[in-house]
């Protein structure tokens, strides 16, 4: 089904605050999409889209099964052109909106554009339905006959994976027509509510990002004050967030029931082109590793902090010996580009325009969406990266992460609009690899054992947040959707589900302050992209295995890596990993990635023993 602007998937919520001290932070220049909201080019493309969709339906509806190979190729290419224009329109409207979600004019522009595109593209619903009615033998013969059509084979495979869950033409059209006032409307309510929340800590009023930033302060009293204020405000709004989650989970359950989806996770696995047993193997491997990863690390961190029991506001606390100076934007740019260039100069060259050509929006501004993302827009333009940069070392890693996405999206663009989009499980590959390159470069530069310890600890915490926390989030979502299937959930019900995964994943060293049970409320993934979160753990495990191959001196690794990124969504994860001798369907594969984290904790424990000897 046509989806002109899937909501950007926000990466881990970043820390924020004031921006003046970090240098000249870049802002987006969206003119590469359109000069202005009232630009004639925007109106022109909207008019073109309306006519193109109507003409497409008049030409092809009811006729796809009768087309020959050349005719089907023309049909697919026309659909691709429509997807490109629709994606361009909604990318512009969406990116403007996320710059300031509390601006009524931007919200109105976004909603009006979404409603128009939804109406205009309604005639396209038949496309995927009719493709799935083409007999297997006939489609195989056409693909064998026409090489240009065969290039789109992955698209046909993805569409036909949905064939068992396809509804009638009338129902599919109904779902399409009501989409702008269904889940997307609840997503907007969530975004606008989150962006509008204000918190008061030590007499200073600040937004969510700025308050979360205090959780990484050296001063423990500030971390505690921020945590309690977050809990207070989340608690005051928990009924609204409970309503959002109840509604979205029920809406999903109804659609899944009609489609006869066997589980709430099935649609995500299909869109990720990953087998359920692979995800289950990943989940089980991570949960089994909790004791040797998060439990062990946080017990070690408690010692460093001089604590017998850690409170939740200590989880992301800096180490006592950690340098608290901030990193200005120029240094952050140099750090990441140097790391990318050391791996391969081509990687730095691709990343450079993000800094020079207005492809990054870095500053913290009122109403700006929290977190960070890289949005590919359309293959005829370029990606845009959103950050909330505050000069923390972790913000530098977030920059490295999002630039990895950006480089991936630039390289995959040559596949064209339909084949460039990477499944979420593989979409995190380049981003996490970019983080690893940056981390390793910083580790090489470490002058003292203490500096190395701080860097290692920071990386372990990031990996725990990427792997352990995200699998715990996945378990929370699984429990939430299972419980919602039995009936309406109260805020207390959801709070209890949240807490059921916290102690298990974080370990016995933690105490959970009253109010922490509401911290599920601000996680955007649960709202925008149900069950997305396991993709982080998938990507981290995959990258750890990839990086091990790189460190072993695999011949031609860089070229193979670039070919993997260029493939976009044109290949399955088995094909992409085969040149590296890796197979994600092997349960032992995940142990390799987890052992890298465990090995870093081993090194930290060895350092601790040396200090106490």
Give the 3-state DSSP-derived string for 248-305, with helices as H, strands as E and coil as C.
Answer: HHHHHHHHHHHHCCCCCCHHHHHHCCCCHHHHHHHHHHHHHHCHHHHHHHHHHHHHHH
Phi and psi at 77, nearest 5°, equal -70, -35
Query: What's the count of helices (H) and strands (E) in the chain, helices before strands?
Result: 27, 7
Cα 602–603–605 angle (5° rounding)?
65
- Alpha helices per DSSP H over 467-586: 468-484, 491-506, 525-528, 534-551, 557-566, 573-577
User: How confident is the model over 43-55, as pLDDT tens digits?
Assistant: 999 999 999 999 9
Cα–Cα distance, 190 to 196 (Å, whole number): 10
In the predicted model, what is the mean pLDDT of residues 227-251? Answer: 97
In the predicted model, what is the mean pLDDT of residues 331-351? Answer: 97
User: How confident is the model over 422-462, as pLDDT tens digits?
Assistant: 887 788 889 989 999 999 988 888 888 888 998 999 999 98
Residue in 274, 395, 406 with CA at minimum distance from that of residue 335 = 395
User: How confident is the model over 558-569, as pLDDT tens digits?
Assistant: 999 999 999 999
What are the C-alpha distances in Å from 599 to residues 173, 271, 293, 603, 606?
A: 52, 33, 10, 6, 11
Cα–Cα distance, 323 to 496 (Å, whole number): 37
Q: Which of 4-18, 153-167, 192-206 has the highest mean pLDDT?
A: 192-206
Q: For position 284, what pLDDT does the model report?
A: 94
Provide the residue ranges of all domains of the chain, joining segments of one domain with +.
19-160
pLDDT band at 4 (very low <50, low <70, confident <90, very high): very low
Exposure b/e, 571-607, CB count within 10 A at least 16 = b: bbbeebbebbebebeeeebbbbbbbbbbebbeebeeb
Give the contacts of 280 (CB within 8 A, at least 6 positions apart): none
Q: Are 471 and 270 in contact (CB under 8 A)?
A: no
Phi and psi at 357, nearest 5°, equal -115, 15
Residue in 213, 181, 208 with CA at minimum distance from that of residue 193 = 208
- Superfamily per CATH, domain 19-160: Oligopeptidase f, N-terminal domain (1.20.140.70)
Tell how strand 373-375 and strand 510-511 pair up.
unpaired
Q: For position 371, what pLDDT does the model report?
A: 85
Q: Look at residue 13 and tell me whether its pLDDT is greater than 60.
A: no
Residue in 549, 503, 495, 545 with CA at minimum distance from that of residue 520 = 495
Give the contacts of 289 (CB within 8 A, at least 6 positions apart): 468, 594, 598
Instruction: Report pTM.
Output: 0.81
pLDDT band at 9 (very low <50, low <70, confident <90, very high): low
Q: Are 298 and 507 in contact (CB under 8 A)?
A: yes
User: How confident is the model over 139-154, as pLDDT tens digits?
Assistant: 999 999 999 999 999 9
Find the length of the chain. Answer: 613
């Amino acid at each position: 089904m046509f989806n002109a602007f899937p909501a950007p998937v926000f990466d881990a919520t970043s820390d924020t605050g004031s921006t003046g001290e970090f240098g000249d932070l870049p802002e987006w220049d969206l003119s590469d999409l359109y000069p202005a909201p009232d630009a004639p080019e925007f109106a022109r493309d909207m008019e073109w889209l309306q006519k193109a969709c109507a003409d497409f339906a008049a030409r092809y509806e009811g006729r796809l099964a009768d087309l020959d190979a050349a005719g089907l190729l023309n049909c697919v290419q026309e659909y691709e052109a429509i997807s490109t224009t629709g994606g361009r329109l909604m990318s512009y409207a969406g990116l403007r909106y996320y710059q300031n979600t509390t601006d009524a004019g931007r919200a109105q522009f976004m909603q009006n554009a979404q409603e128009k595109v939804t109406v205009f593209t309604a005639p396209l619903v038949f496309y995927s339905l009719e493709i799935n009615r083409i007999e297997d033998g006939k489609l195989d013969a056409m693909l064998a006959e026409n090489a240009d059509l065969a290039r789109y084979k992955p698209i046909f495979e993805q569409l036909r994976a949905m064939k068992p869950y396809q509804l009638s033409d009338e129902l599919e059209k109904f779902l399409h027509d009501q989409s702008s006032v269904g889940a997307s409307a609840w997503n907007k309510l969530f975004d606008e509510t989150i962006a509008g929340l204000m918190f008061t800590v030590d007499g200073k009023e600040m937004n969510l990002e700025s308050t979360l930033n205090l959780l990484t302060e050296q001063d423990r009293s500030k971390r505690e004050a921020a945590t309690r204020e977050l809990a207070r405000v989340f608690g005051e709004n928990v009924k609204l967030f409970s309503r959002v989650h109840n509604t979205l989970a029920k809406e999903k359950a109804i659609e899944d029931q009609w489609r006869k989806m066997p589980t709430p996770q099935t649609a995500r696995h299909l869109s990720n082109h990953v087998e359920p047993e692979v995800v289950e193997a990943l989940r089980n491997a991570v949960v089994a590793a909790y004791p040797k990863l998060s439990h062990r690390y946080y017990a070690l961190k408690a010692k460093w902090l001089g604590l017998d029991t850690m409170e939740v506001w200590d989880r992301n606390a800096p180490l006592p010996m950690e340098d608290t100076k901030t990193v200005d934007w120029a240094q952050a740019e140099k750090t990441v580009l140097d790391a990318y260039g050391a791996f391969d100069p081509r990687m730095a060259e691709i990343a450079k325009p993000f800094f020079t050509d207005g492809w990054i929006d870095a500053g913290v501004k009122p109403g700006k969406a929290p977190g960070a993302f890289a949005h590919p827009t359309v293959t005829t333009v370029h990606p845009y990266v959103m950050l909330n940069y505050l000069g923390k070392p972790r913000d530098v890693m977030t920059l490295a992460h999002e630039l990895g996405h950006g480089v991936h999206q630039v390289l995959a663009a040559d596949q064209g609009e339909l084949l460039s989009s990477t499944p979420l499980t593989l979409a995190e590959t380049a981003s996490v690899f970019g983080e690893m390159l940056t981390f390793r470069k910083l580790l090489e530069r470490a002058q003292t054992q203490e500096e190395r310890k701080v860097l290692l600890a920071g990386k372990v915490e990031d990996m725990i947040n990427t792997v352990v926390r995200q699998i715990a989030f996945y378990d929370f979502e699984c429990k939430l959707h299972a419980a919602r299937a039995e009936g309406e959930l109260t805020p207390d019900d959801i709070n209890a589900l949240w807490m059921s995964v916290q102690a298990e994943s974080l370990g016995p060293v933690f105490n959970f302050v009253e109010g922490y049970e509401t911290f599920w409320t601000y996680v955007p993934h649960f709202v925008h992209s149900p069950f997305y979160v396991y993709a982080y753990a998938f990507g981290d495990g995959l990258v750890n295995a990839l990086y091990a191959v790189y460190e072993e001196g695999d011949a031609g690794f860089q070229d193979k890596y670039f070919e993997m990124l260029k493939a976009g969504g044109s290949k399955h994860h088995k094909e992409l990993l085969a040149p590296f001798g890796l197979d994600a369907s092997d349960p032992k594969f995940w142990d390799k990635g987890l052992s890298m984290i465990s090995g870093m904790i081993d090194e930290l424990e060895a350092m601790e023993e040396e200090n106490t000897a």
